[in-house]
Chain A
Amino acid sequence: MVSPQMVMYEEEFNQISAICDRLCREANSKVVFLVDKNGQLIASAGETENLDTTSLASLTAGNIAATGGLAKLIGEREFSILFHEGEKDNLHISIVAGRVILVVIFDARSSLGLVRLRVKKSTLELTGIFERLLKKIEDPAAGSPFAEITDEDIDNLFSD
């Protein structure tokens, strides 16, 4: 079924960013980022300056979608953890709260065991935040920030 639109508020964003920052430090990793299952980047931490996080987000979501498809074919609901090992850098990918993807990039300064341990702890905290966030989004009182935009606003975007 169609999942509700994702909305990120300042308050939750700060909490999520703080968890990503801490995870990046505690897991001794290079980069941590969170992606919506639809491929949109939610938050990132660590050495992201030279990283194309938009592409990473989209490919990660594609990867999770493809492995999810594979899982269903063999009768699994999903594979909740993926691990890609490279010569220098490795990727640890896991699903949080059923709809966001947590990615950790790490090298020889860390280890798979440490990353898994720290990810587990952070996942619990993130799950709580996302559950609250989804409730907040579904609350009809929340309204759409775009209810006030006019057709003119939209036309202006395409005026040149």
Chain B
Amino acid sequence: MSFINYSSREINCKIVYYGPGLCGKTTNLQYIYAKTNPEAKGKMISLATETERTLFFDFLPLSLGEIRGFKTRFHLYTVPGQVFYDASRKLILKGVDGVVFVADSQIERMEANLESMENLKVNLQEQGYDLKQIPYVVQYNKRDLPNAATVEELSRLLNAERVPEFQSIAATGWGVFDTLKAIAKLVLQELKKGR
């Protein structure tokens, strides 16, 4: 849940990047970190294994500017994608304000995408959230790979809810900020509703 601080006139929101192992969640954050002005970002933390697989989470604090005198700060988190880290994934979803599902466009990874999405729904439910109710967007990553499935196919399988969807190549940054802007906007619109 977002945290509104009248004293420091700040509003903090938590966005979680979810998806199967090696789909590019950490790469999304790394690109955002590399392309953001130093004054708008904090340190990026990666709790990863020696082989750079996310072990617990990546964390990136980001300031987006002011709305009506309130500084808006977004805390971006990724979850570890590998199936056996499920206990950690649940913890990171605590207090989430918005979710980005990063799908791996490669045909071979479709099963992993579907499994991860099912896992997201179950884990959100355990925390008392419903994917249909919270700000949520889908990103189809690795569009540059030759074995990428068509967007229509991905959309049919992974976006039954018809939420905003984006194509991306996180390694070059294409589509990364479009995705971030979309989820940040949805989170702020939700706040406006005063949930």
Contact = CB atoms under 8 A, between A and B. Distances in A.
Interface in B172-193: 181, 184-185, 188-189, 191-193
A91 B15 CA distance: 28
A54 B42 CA distance: 7
Contacts of B128: 1-2
A13 B7 contact: yes
Interface in B61-114: 61, 64-65, 67-68, 70, 72, 75, 87-88, 90-92, 94-95
Interface in A13-56: 13-14, 36-40, 42, 52, 54-55
B151 interface: no
A10 B7 contact: yes
Interface residues of A, number: 41
A40 B61 CA distance: 10
Nearest to A68: B91
Interface string A45-84: 0000000101100110010011011000000000000000
Chain B: interface secondary structure? mixed
A6 interface: yes
Contacts, number: 132
B17 interface: no
Contacts of B64: 157-158
A60 B64 CA distance: 24
A4 B181 contact: no
Given A40-B75, A55-B59, A158-B181, A8 B67 contact: no
Nearest to B13: A40
A88 B96 CA distance: 35
Contact of A37 (B5, B94, B194): B94
A43 B184 CA distance: 25
B57 interface: yes
Contacts of A38: 1, 3, 14, 94-95
